[in-house]
Amino acid sequence: MIRAAGRTRVARMTVPIRPAADADLDAILAIHNAAIRDTLAIWSDDEVDRADRERWLAAHVADGHPVIVAEVDGQVAGYAAYAQWREKVGYRFTMEHSVYVAEGFQRRGIARALMEELIALARAAGVHTLIGAIEAGNTASIALHEQLGFEAPAIIREVGIKHGQWLDLALMRLQL
């Protein structure tokens, strides 16, 4: 940690990022299920099994959409991916992304590193727009997206429910 001008911030680290492989699926599954179980990030009540993540990874690969992981000390510390935002062909250049960081690795620059790499991959692939769909109470994710150049969020009120509470959706857009 670095203390400056009365604020504490986490020193940025260099995070190795690489394409996800089948060997990463157990770690990705653990991160994904923790987000389902312990956060409002994934609007599902049901954890998934490894076969679900195998299908998910295979679909991304088949569609030419990246799934990347950040590795710290030999462990998958987080992952990110994008896929077509909506099914219709008119949306083929608009992708919705997701980024998740494992418990114990948050606030270390991993989400930023994953997002920066994902944005670079999207640009290289000719993606026109990236969409972030974020639970509106997730101020850290919203702030990160704004720092990366995403437009201020448009909030859609009470469009999801989890843990018995209505949730607002923040949609953020980055034109590449």
* Residue 99 · residue 50 · CB < 8 Å: no
77-123 pLDDT, tens digit per residue, is 999 999 999 999 999 999 999 999 999 999 999 999 999 999 999 99
pLDDT band of 14, cuts 50, 70, 90:
confident
pLDDT at 24 over 50: yes
Share of the chain above pLDDT 70, in %: 93
160 C-beta neighbours (distance < 10 Å), count: 16
Chain segment 107-165, per-residue pLDDT in tens: 999 999 999 999 999 999 999 999 999 999 999 999 999 999 999 999 999 999 999 99
- CATH 3.30.70.120 matches 14-175: no
Q: Is the pLDDT of residue 11 over 80?
A: no
The pLDDT of residue 7 is 34
Please give the angle made by the CA atoms of 7, 13 and 18, to the nearest 5 degrees: 140
Q: Supply the pTM of this predicted model.
A: 0.90
Backbone torsions φ then ψ of 39, nearest 5 degrees: -135, 180
Contacts of 95 (CB under 8 A, 6+ apart): 65, 82, 83, 84, 85, 122, 127, 129, 130, 131
Is 141 buried (19+), middle (13-18) or exposed (0-12) by CB count in 10 A? buried
Angle at 163 between CA 106 and CA 42, to 5 degrees: 45
- Quote the percentage of the chain above a pLDDT of 90: 90
Tell me the two tokens of residue 50: 């490894």
